[in-house]
């Protein structure tokens, strides 16, 4: 079984969404973790937008990267530039991937415009995860 770490700034939206999609896609081929270089709590809008796609992340927790330094990862995926630039060194030969997704938590506007920003990022992450999993694990 492979270990995958999805890393973001606050472990509240993008990494939570990616963790959920990757775990669904990888099934028993991988254990997927998500963490942040900070912890901001799981964003309620991330929970809501994933629920719209049939995935429950309400049980997820916001974890700090330091909680996983004892684990060996096969893959580390950073989903924002800030996390890539501040990712600590992990021993081993983890294959690293980077994609900078817009932070939906910073969206401004009406409630519907903010929800739409979350949906847009969710769909971008879903497509990225499907593509990544098909190339790296499946």
Question: Going residue by residue through the chain (138 aa), what tens digit of pLDDT does each one get?
Answer: 999 999 998 999 999 999 999 999 999 999 999 999 889 999 999 999 999 999 999 999 999 998 998 899 999 999 987 666 666 566 678 999 999 999 999 999 999 999 999 999 999 999 999 999 999 986
Query: DSSP letters of 71-116?
Result: S--SEEEE-SHHHHHHPPP-SS--EEEE-----GGG--SSHHHHHH
Instruction: Yes or no: say if 14 and 23 are a contact pair by the CB < 8 Å rule.
Output: no
Give yes or no: 8 in active site: yes
Q: Across the strands, what pairs with 32?
A: 4
Residue 95 to residue 76: CA distance in whole angstroms: 6
pTM summary value: 0.93
Give every strand in the sheet of 75-78, ordered side by side.
30-36, 2-8, 75-78, 95-98
Identified catalytic residue from 13, 26, 80, 129: 80
Identified catalytic residue from 8, 13, 26, 129: 8
Domains of the chain: 2-136 (3.40.50.2300)
Give yes or no: 26 in active site: no
Give yes or no: 87 in active site: yes
């Amino acid at each position: 079984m492979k270990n995958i770490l999805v890393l973001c700034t606050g472990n509240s939206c993008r990494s939570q969404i990616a963790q959920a999609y990757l775990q669904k896609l990888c099934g028993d081929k991988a254990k997927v973790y998500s963490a942040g270089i900070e912890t901001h709590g799981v964003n309620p809008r991330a929970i809501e937008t994933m629920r719209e796609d049939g995935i429950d992340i309400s049980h997820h927790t916001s974890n700090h990267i330091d909680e996983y330094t004892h684990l060996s990862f096969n893959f580390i995926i950073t989903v924002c530039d800030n996390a890539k630039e501040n990712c600590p060194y992990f021993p081993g030969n983890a294959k690293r991937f980077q994609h900078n997704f817009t932070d939906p938590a910073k969206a401004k506007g009406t409630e519907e415009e903010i929800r739409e920003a979350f949906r847009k990022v969710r769909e971008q992450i879903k497509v990225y995860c499907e593509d990544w999993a098909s190339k790296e694990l499946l």
